A and B are shown apart, each in its own frame.
Chain A
Amino acid sequence: MERLNVLKTYKIYIGGKFPRTESGRFYTPLNKKGEQLGHICLSSRKDVRNSVVAARKAFGGWSERAAFNRGQILYRIAEMLEGRKSQFIEELIFQGSTKAQAEKEVNLSIDRMVYYAGWCDKYTQVLGSINPVASSHFNFSMHVPQGVIGVIAENSTSLIGLVSLVAPIIAGGNTCIVVASKELPLCAITFAEVLNSSDVPGGVVNILTGESKEMIKPLTEHMDVNGMIYGGSNKKIVQQLRESAALNLKRIQTYDEDWMKEDAQNLYMISDCQEVKTTWHPIENIGGATSSY
């Protein structure tokens, strides 16, 4: 007798836990063949708010972790992705990718995670400065994370678009709330499972599925969100983000990129989610001694 498959219940990811949406709602996206992808959570405003709370709570600990440790954790994500490679490929194919496309997307996602893992303990060195002020002070500038970042993933990919945005955000010590692709949500949730088993503290990345139209507003208008990242080119969304940023001066970054390109990754995507902090301290200068002999 043929064995009956165990189907997976796709959930959302908030504060390191996998609840279904508090609203109890769901939707059933179809693939090109008309097959149902699953009963996917149609997340609500309340889910957005819960995610922001979780992300804020996680921010202090994540941002103050040693950069080296963040790098290790990002590398661990890559390891876990590698281990689950076949599952991601299957999901991508089920959602409509060809096998070659799917393999490329997963490989690229893994490599991208490794790329940003390496940046964790280097970007402040490259981007920071010691400023030679004219007065008797020691003065330096370094990059520090912005805080809680809202992410609107680009709609036409399931994994690479999401990984390309999330990796630089968390590499830089931020926490985030991700609105996943509505039509291609499967890899986003499986990616959450990867995060959950990679020593990424709960709340650092929160992933919601559903109608982005419904979630963008409460996310961008949330007063405890410091920045928004959008990985697509929909002009209406760009304007909506920029307008609601006027509420609390959120930092808005939008990228119109082909994330499947190998070079769609760089240092500046990390600095886009950073603030420059400059510190001054006086240098005692009393006697006449100099540093020459």
Chain B
Amino acid sequence: MKKNKKITWDYSPAPESAAHINLKKKYVLYIDGKWVKPSSGKYFKTINPANNETLAEIAYANEKDVDKAIKAARKAYDTVWSKTTPSERAKYIYRIARLMQERAREFAVIETLDAGKVIRESRDIDIPLACNHFFYYAGWADKLEYAFPNRKVEPVGVAGQITPWNFPLLMAAWKIAPALATGNTVVLKPAETTPLTALKLAEIIHDAGLPPGVVNIVTGYGDTGAAIVEHDDVDKIAFTGSTRVGKIIQKTIAGTDKKATLELGGKSANIILEDAPLDQAVEGIVNGIFFNQGHVCCAGSRLFIQESVAEKVIDKLKHRLNSLIIGDPMDKNTDIGAVNSKMQLDSINKYIKIGLEEGATMYQPECTLPKNGYYCPPTLFTDVAQSSTIVQEEIFGPVLTIQTFRTVDEAIQKANNTPYGLAAGIWTDKGSRIFNLATKLNAGVIWANTYNKFDPTSPFGGFKESGFGREGGLHGLSAYVKLK
């Protein structure tokens, strides 16, 4: 009876509790220090992509609401914020950072519920980094003259900021913290599928006693964002999202004096050389492409392995894929959570289909995906060429293409052969080789023997069609200042 019984070594469930979080049923707009109903009267639902359950209803801001928010930001800039001393500005931002830290666990749970990302990542990466970003930029507020030698530093004015759904709170922090530190006021629109943590941040900003209108949060879809971009009284647009939308924004503001920073798409190369520590490299590959379900603009989505070790690395990688835990994002053991939305899952599946149609070989580990919600197993494609659609275009999901190369020069040429230039990974034990590759790879961030690392002190941003401007670090200040 018992013969051939397969022993499985499943982890026991380790679910994070959502009992301690505070979520309202309905969220309105945060404008001029007050919670106000949208003049459209419309609301939309934000769902948990892990089980398709509605989390809350969110106000849908129209042009009128955006206008109101921008007017509030202008007034706050003219009457209060530009007159607040830099050291006082710093103290407000420090205060926000501390309040966020105090409520970090709540933020992590809400982020996971709203975005589908695993709790391990929102708890250990998204939320701490967001808090640290405020803490880092707070200190810059009264030291700006040291960042720009020989220049007088002035704020830009009112910043319109549009953030994506892949790192909702972190991207809001990347935008708001440097803008405030440099003395600007803000109108921020979070992505429609993940608005909750930005709205919770508005609560904290309110609690911190930031003067009304300095930060305004308006929720809505693409047209809400467009209303910000098109508004005459915005001095600066900061956008993180797709290259397609980035180009539209660039075109829209062409005839104006608006400044812009655009953080756009990528198709980053992760290069494994034969002398690399292969087990570490395999972990780096997994972290490079499966971190946050591959919803990462700098994901290492094009893997290049030196021919002599290609077979070995691919075997190890497949083996590793089989031990990844895919499922409930709220479980502390889960490695790969839910895809952010149905729309995104459809898009990923479209690319998987194209990959197969173009003759690539697919590998997915055997796994059972939860019945409700949106999930995609980790996916490898071999037998692809530089011209394959799935090698050229950003998929923004857990899909990795694998190519091989013989020489370092070939790796450099293949890696650079893309309109993007956001990031690149290099795996080798040889220092001189790292510096050669790091010099010649056209990307804004180079991870050598590591991947997908972020820090408030480290500037992030791309070359070419991955956008322009940097976020983070000293260099991230440039986006929000005028030099005189």
Contacts and interface: CB of A to CB of B under 8 A. Distances in A.
A137 B248 CA distance: 37
A35 to B, nearest CB: 40
A85 interface: no
A137 B450 CA distance: 9
Nearest to A277: B444
Interface residues of A, number: 33
A246 B151 contact: no
Contacts of B5: none
B475 A247 contact: no
Interface stretch (A127-135, A186-194, A201-209, A285-293): A127-135
Interface string A27-49: 00000000000000000000000
A137 B446 CA distance: 12
A281 B473 CA distance: 17
B483 A268 contact: yes
A66 interface: no
A279 B439 CA distance: 10
B379 interface: no
B33 interface: no
B143 interface: no
A246 B460 CA distance: 21
B468 interface: yes
A226 interface: yes
B459 A278 contact: yes
Given A141-B459, A239-B255, A242-B250, A276 B450 contact: no
Nearest to A279: B446
Interface in B387-421: 419
Contact of B151 (A248, A268, A277, A281): A268
A139 B475 CA distance: 14
A279 B438 contact: yes
B281 interface: no
B51 to A, nearest CB: 33
Contacts of B457: 131-134, 139
Residue with the highest number of chain B CB atoms closer than 10 Å, among A146, A246, A267: A246
A240 to B, nearest CB: 8
B341 to A, nearest CB: 26
B206 interface: no
Given A134-B455, A279-B438, A246 B247 contact: yes
A248 B464 contact: yes
B343 interface: no
A249 B465 contact: yes
Interface string A247-281: 11101000000000000001110000001111111
Query: 6 tightest A-B contacts by CB?
Result: A242-B254, A133-B455, A243-B254, A246-B251, A246-B250, A131-B457
